[in-house]
Structure 1
Amino acid sequence: MMTASALNIDIKFHEIDLFKNENRREFYRKINPLQKVPALQVGDTKILDSHAIALYLCQIAKEQNLYPENPIMRAKVNQMLFFNSGTLFRIDSYILTKYFAGQWPVSETTIEEWYSALDFLEYQLKDDWLTGNKVLLCDICTVAVVTSVLQLVPLTQRHERVQKWIENFQHLNFYVINKRGLLRLNSYINAFKAIHA
């Protein structure tokens, strides 16, 4: 949604409530047999991964500056997209799933794995953004994952650049979408905590 907003692309949005298991209903399984969100349907074609959707949006945008044409810069963006998808999101999904399954806290090994992943982001953030001095697609995709976990596992002092990077988003109009999502996630976290206290 942030990518679409940044690119001025209108999409028809249908909310899938994971807490009501709507992703497991027949109508959604026809869209995505994996029962994961998000999914994008374009005509008869279904795109079933958030990174693939974001890349598709960059490719159809009339004008875009989130996914560079330069092969080296594109490789840097891809590297961070793959890191986000394969490492950060995997840990994010595990932590949030455990929390809402009532299996909290997670192990110290999991927490340290998360912080080690953030160490790599800290290393990457030599400039304001993950691949240089301008926000690119990898920043948008990655900040959504990082900030969701921060609802349960706060940053440490060794992640000052990550904190500054998150603060850089506050000045971007499309980031209000992530703020809304984080408020909603936080309300679910607090409601679950109150029920299971």
Structure 2
Amino acid sequence: MINPLQKVPAMVTNDTNVCDSHAIAIYFCQLVNDYSLYPEDRVQRAKINQILFFNSSTLFRIDSELMSTFFAGHWPMGEMKLEEWYSALDFLEFLLNKNNWLAGNKIHLCDICVVTVVTSMCLLVPLTQRHPRVQQWVKLFESLPFYDINKRGLCALNNYIMAMKI
């Protein structure tokens, strides 16, 4: 069994099973010895890890709850749950207050991981004027060549969401 938790993503490399998208992403950053996305500096890495853990513990959970509610046919979502999402975005807004990226002045692994959750959620709960910096950050991503990979996934998810709304 690749992942005893029976969740994806998971991968096998050599004799090791690596589970969780963040652990896999960190593994690949370290594998190629390119420290631009996941620097060796302990302070910078701590900032990146903080945001990765926030993504895992908070954004993923809210995303899962809202998507599950939608696909179970219990939409629209209650105000309390929506406010929880907006409060999570408030934290991202705070991080983007001083910089264009979540952990500093350049893109890091945490930005790539978080933008996938934020943009997926935007299909159900669009960004509002409450989060202008988050909107700018997403637009910045949309201008990057590799963002097309995320766009393909968003398009597939959006098609599924639209089919459910009918």
Per the shorter chain, which TM-score range? Answer: over 0.9
Cα distance 1:72–1:62, how it changes in 2: closer, same or farther (>3 A)?
Answer: closer
From 52, 55, 58, the equivalent of 1:87 is: 58
> What SS is found at the alignment partner of 1:46?
strand
**Distance (whole Å) between structure 2 residues aligned to residue 109 and residue 60 of structure 1:** 42
Following superposition, the deviation at residue 75 of structure 1 comes to: 0.7
Scaled by the length of structure 1, what TM-score is found? Answer: 0.80
Name 1:59's counterpart in structure 2: 30
**Distance (whole Å) between structure 2 residues aligned to residue 43 and residue 103 of structure 1:** 44
Name 1:9's counterpart in structure 2: none
2:130 aligned with 1:131: no
Counterpart amino acid of residue 105 in structure 1: P
Relative CO higher for 1 or 2, CA cutoff 8 Å, sep ≥ 6? 1
Counterpart amino acid of residue 73 in structure 2: G
Name 1:78's counterpart in structure 2: 49
Cα distance 1:37–1:67, how it changes in 2: closer, same or farther (>3 A)?
Answer: same
From 110, 114, 117, the equivalent of 2:81 is: 110
**Distance (whole Å) between structure 2 residues aligned to residue 145 and residue 116 of structure 1:** 15
> What are the residue-to-residue correspondences of 1:1-197 with 2, within 5 Å?
30-125=1-96, 126-194=98-166
Counterpart amino acid of residue 109 in structure 1: M
> What SS is found at the alignment partner of 1:31?
coil
Counterpart amino acid of residue 138 in structure 1: C
Following superposition, the deviation at residue 104 of structure 1 comes to: 1.3
**Distance (whole Å) between structure 1 residues aligned to residue 146 and residue 8 of structure 2:** 20
Following superposition, the deviation at residue 43 of structure 1 comes to: 3.0
Counterpart amino acid of residue 184 in structure 1: A
Scaled by the length of structure 2, what TM-score is found? Answer: 0.95
Aligned alpha-carbon RMSD (Å)? 1.1
**Distance (whole Å) between structure 2 residues aligned to residue 189 and residue 66 of structure 1:** 32
| Percentage of identical aligned residues | 62
Name 1:12's counterpart in structure 2: none
Q: Which runs of 5+ in 2 are unaligned?
A: none
What do the CA deviations read for 1:34-54 (whole angstroms, capped 9, x no partner)?
Answer: 332211221332211000000
Q: Which runs of 5+ in 1 are unaligned?
A: 1-29
Between the two proteins, the alignment pairs up a number of residues equal to: 165
